[in-house]
Chains A and B, each alone.
Chain A
Amino acid sequence: MHGYDITAGEMLLDKNATLDAKGLMCPMPIVQLAKKVREMKSGQVLELLTDDVGAKEDVPAWCSRTGNALVGMEEEGKLIRFYIRLK
C-alpha cells in the first residue's frame, strides 16, 4: 500500500543526507522533510530519523503525494528510519 520497494536492512542504500527529526512531533518532521528536500538533487537518497508515531503513516503519505519514492523503512524500538529517493 505504501509502495516500499525494499527494506533498508536488505539493501545497502547510499544515502546522500540524513535529517534527524527525533523529538519533533507532527507536523514538524514533514515540514523539515519538505525543506530538506528543496536543498537536495533529484535521484539522491535522504535518510529521515523520527520517533513521532504518526510518521509511520505521514511519511508514506507525503511521499505518495509529492511523487518521491519511499525505498526503505526500518524500526528500532521507538526510532523509525525512512529512506526516500528524490524524484
Chain B
Amino acid sequence: MRDTTRLGKEEMDMAEKFCMVVSEGSLDKALMPLIMGNTAAAMGMEVHVFYTFFGLKLLKKGVKPKLPGMMSIFTGMMVKKMKKLNIQDYHTMMKEARELGVKFYACSTSMAMMGVKETDLVEGTKILGASAFLNMAADAKMTLFIG
C-alpha cells in the first residue's frame, strides 16, 4: 500500500477514497466521523464527510454538540471525562481534521431547511448537493452512514 502522507496533489487523487454521511448532530455523531476520518487520513486515505439534516449544525461555527435526547443533561460530565482521559474535544478534532486534509461538505437543501447561512459554516466547508456527493462516493472504497 502506498503512503499517501508523502505524496503531492496529483498523486493524492489516486488515493483510496473514504466517504461518510452524517445526518445527526449529537456529540456521539459529531465525534465518530472525526475519529474515523482523522485516522483514515493518517493512514493515507482521502476523506470526504457530507453533513445533512441535523448533522449540518455540526459545521456551524462555535457549535457545542450535546449527548442525544434525555442524556443531553450529562453532556458536561462526558466532556469533562474526555478531557481527563486526554481525548481531544470536538473543535480540536475538527482543526486536526482540516490539517490532515479531511474535506467537509454541507448539504445545500439542509442549509435551506435549517436556515443555515454560508457565513455560519466553519471555514473550508464546501456547499454541494446530493449528486455532487454521490459522484464522489461512487468510486470510493468505503462509504459509511452515520445517523
8 Å CB interface, B24-51 against A: 35, 38-39, 41-44
A65-B1, A67-B2 known; A30 and B86 CB under 8 Å? Answer: no
A31 beta carbon closer than 8 Å to chain B: yes
Contact A66 B87 (CB under 8 A): no
Contacts of A23 in B (CB 8 A): 86
Contact B3 A66 (CB under 8 A): yes
Distance A25 CA – B44 CA, assembled complex (angstroms)? 20
Contact A34 B88 (CB under 8 A): no
A46 beta carbon closer than 8 Å to chain B: no
Contact B1 A30 (CB under 8 A): no
Most chain A beta-carbon contacts within 10 A, residue among B4, B42, B99: B42
Least Cβ distance of A59 to chain B in Å?
11
Contact A27 B38 (CB under 8 A): yes
Q: Taking CB as reference atom, which chain B residue is nearest A24? A: B86
B12 beta carbon closer than 8 Å to chain A: no
B77 beta carbon closer than 8 Å to chain A: no
Contact B100 A34 (CB under 8 A): yes
Contact A87 B3 (CB under 8 A): yes
A23-B86, A24-B86, A25-B87 known; A62 and B2 CB under 8 Å? Answer: no
Contacts of B85 in A (CB 8 A): 25
Distance A28 CA – B35 CA, assembled complex (angstroms)? 9
Contact B1 A33 (CB under 8 A): no
Distance A66 CA – B85 CA, assembled complex (angstroms)? 28
B96 beta carbon closer than 8 Å to chain A: yes
Most chain B beta-carbon contacts within 10 A, residue among A23, A31, A38, A87: A31
Name A residues whose Cβ lies closer than 8 Å to a Cβ of B.
23-28, 30-31, 33-35, 37-38, 61-62, 64-68, 87
Name B residues whose Cβ lies closer than 8 Å to a Cβ of A.
1-6, 35, 38-39, 41-44, 85-88, 96, 99-100
Q: List 18 A-B contacts (CB under 8 A).
A: A26-B35, A26-B39, A28-B88, A30-B42, A30-B43, A31-B41, A31-B96, A31-B100, A33-B42, A34-B5, A34-B42, A34-B100, A64-B1, A65-B44, A66-B3, A66-B4, A67-B1, A87-B3
Q: Other than A34-B44, A64-B1, A66-B43, give 13 A-B pairs with Cβ distance below 8 A.
A: A25-B87, A27-B35, A28-B88, A30-B39, A31-B100, A33-B42, A34-B42, A35-B42, A35-B99, A37-B3, A65-B43, A67-B1, A67-B2
